Amino acid sequence: MVVSGTREQKQEALDAVLASRTFDRSPQLKAFLAYVCEREIEGRAETLSEYVIGVDVLGRPAGYSPAEDAIVRNRAFALRRKLDEYYLHENPTARIRIDIPRGQYAPTYVTSEAEPEEPIAATPPKPGSPPSPRKKRLPWLAPFLAGLAIASLLWWIARPGPGARVDDALRKAWGPLLRGPEVTLVHISAPLHLFVRPNDTRMPDERPRIEQEDLQRWYRHFPQLPPADKLYVRPTPNAPLWGDALSMSIVGRVLERSGVPWEVLPARVGFEPLLRNRNALILGRPEYSRVAAKLLEKLPLTVEFHPGLREYAVLDRSVANKWFLPKYGDNDYAVEVFGLISVMPSEGSPAGERRTVVLTGTNSAGAQAAAEFWSSPHEMEALIQRLGGKLPTSYQVLVRATSSATMTLDVFYETHRVITR
């Protein structure tokens, strides 16, 4: 629950995060967190805004437009994820935790302990008051941080095994995927790409014919590439989209923490018989994956091309002409996308002992949103409660996400469908 704490408690919670191993290689996120927490401690939380953080913390010039530059929203999203990671793995017993709720930048402080709340102390200091506790502790701050680093190292050495580091809500949602000992297959789709190269390397006999002038114009978008008088085109089915690759990384972390062995299959070699009676995660749009297309063809929610929008959207077959349409900005990049999670027993699995999950979306950022949502202990706990305390055998969850180009920012639950077979 949300609590109010003393200045000292809030500062100690901040110091612990800043000195953590989780944030060790994230100087920008540490600066972001320190800035918003210190303003809240000083009683100036109302001054926090996207523009102020962009200028004061992230180096944006005065007068920049947050509507056109999503750096603050992007970094806030990353900071929330990093805080979740810190409290889940490095400091799960923290008495007071820092939280930055979606839709705002001022931190709140939460606890799972049923202790009486202490008086609110996040008011501006009175004139003539002594320096902030952080400054007064400076002479012994270094020993404190050193001790904390040693404690973190000891925790790392004595940490529980992989199977004990997955939240209960994730275990319930992922079910057989995290039980092992069988290998979980991760099947990732990839569209047909054209590689543009300055050298005539080994290539298929049939090559697309594209005018050199057009190739040179596209080639110049990548100034790090060497100049070339002639360019060559090579088709390849082996390059996954950015959001799909991130999705693989996200679900891979959960599988690693659970201790389950897993392997990746590209869409071009991962055919249906390989997935029969196996635990499997299917990543990517049905446009690029025959397996995803087959699994989604009879489900209530699916991803299909919308002729009016001229882009992919989510179709709800249970309601006539019901579409969930992504939104696009002035530069034609998506600013709001949808991700779709479809959970079902694997084909040929007796009594649902194996599970297949499809993570897809209106674009690769939507697939990433689906992976982020389904890998979040907080979101899975909320989903379990939303579905009456128990997850059905087969169901779909639709999530909505803000995005910047092909990167997911914030993810929100939209709706769900329970599948009866």
Rounded CA separation 53/68 (Å): 15
Looking at the chain, the domain(s) classified CATH 3.30.379 span 171-190+241-418
pLDDT score recorded for residue 130: 46
pLDDT score recorded for residue 343: 93
pLDDT score recorded for residue 224: 65
3-state secondary structure of 191: coil
Ranges of H-type helices in 22-95: 27-41, 50-56, 71-85
Phi then psi for 298, rounded to 5 degrees? -115, 10
Contacts of 101 (CB under 8 A, 6+ apart): 108
pLDDT score recorded for residue 233: 73
pLDDT score recorded for residue 112: 56
CB 172 within 8 A of CB 381: no
Closest listed residue to residue 100, CA positions, set 80, 117, 86, 124 = 80
Q: Dig out the tokens for 209 from the structure.
A: 């014919």
pLDDT score recorded for residue 144: 42
Contacts of 17 (CB under 8 A, 6+ apart): 23, 30, 33, 83, 86, 98
Residues present in the chain in total: 421
3-state secondary structure of 250: helix
Instruction: Report helix angle 27-41 to 71-85, nearest 10.
Output: 90
pLDDT score recorded for residue 62: 85
pTM of the model: 0.61
The full DSSP string for 330-380 is TTS-EEEEEEEEEEEEPTT-GGG-SEEEEEEESSHHHHHHHHHHHT-HHHH
pLDDT score recorded for residue 132: 42
Closest listed residue to residue 122, CA positions, set 15, 7, 33, 3 = 7
CB 54 within 8 A of CB 74: no
Give the Å distances, CA to CA, from 236 to 16, 290, 292, 365: 47, 17, 20, 22
- 67: Cα within 13 Å, side-chain hemisphere: 5
Kindly give the confidence (pLDDT) of every residue in the chain, 421 residues in length, as a single tens digit, with 9 standing for 90 and above. 566 678 888 999 999 999 998 888 788 899 999 999 999 999 998 999 999 998 999 888 888 888 777 788 888 888 988 898 888 888 888 888 999 988 789 999 887 554 444 443 444 444 444 444 444 444 444 444 454 454 444 434 334 444 446 678 888 888 888 887 778 888 888 777 777 766 666 665 666 777 777 777 777 776 666 777 777 777 777 778 878 888 888 888 888 888 888 888 887 765 667 778 888 899 988 888 888 888 898 899 999 999 888 888 999 998 888 999 998 877 677 888 999 999 998 887 776 788 899 999 998 888 989 998 998 888 888 899 888 888 888 999 999 988 776 777 788 899 999 988 6
3-state secondary structure of 5: coil
Give the Å distances, CA to CA, from 324 to 314, 317, 340, 399: 5, 11, 11, 10
Q: Which CATH number fits domain 171-190+241-418: 1.10.3120, 3.40.50, 3.30.2000, 3.30.379?
A: 3.30.379
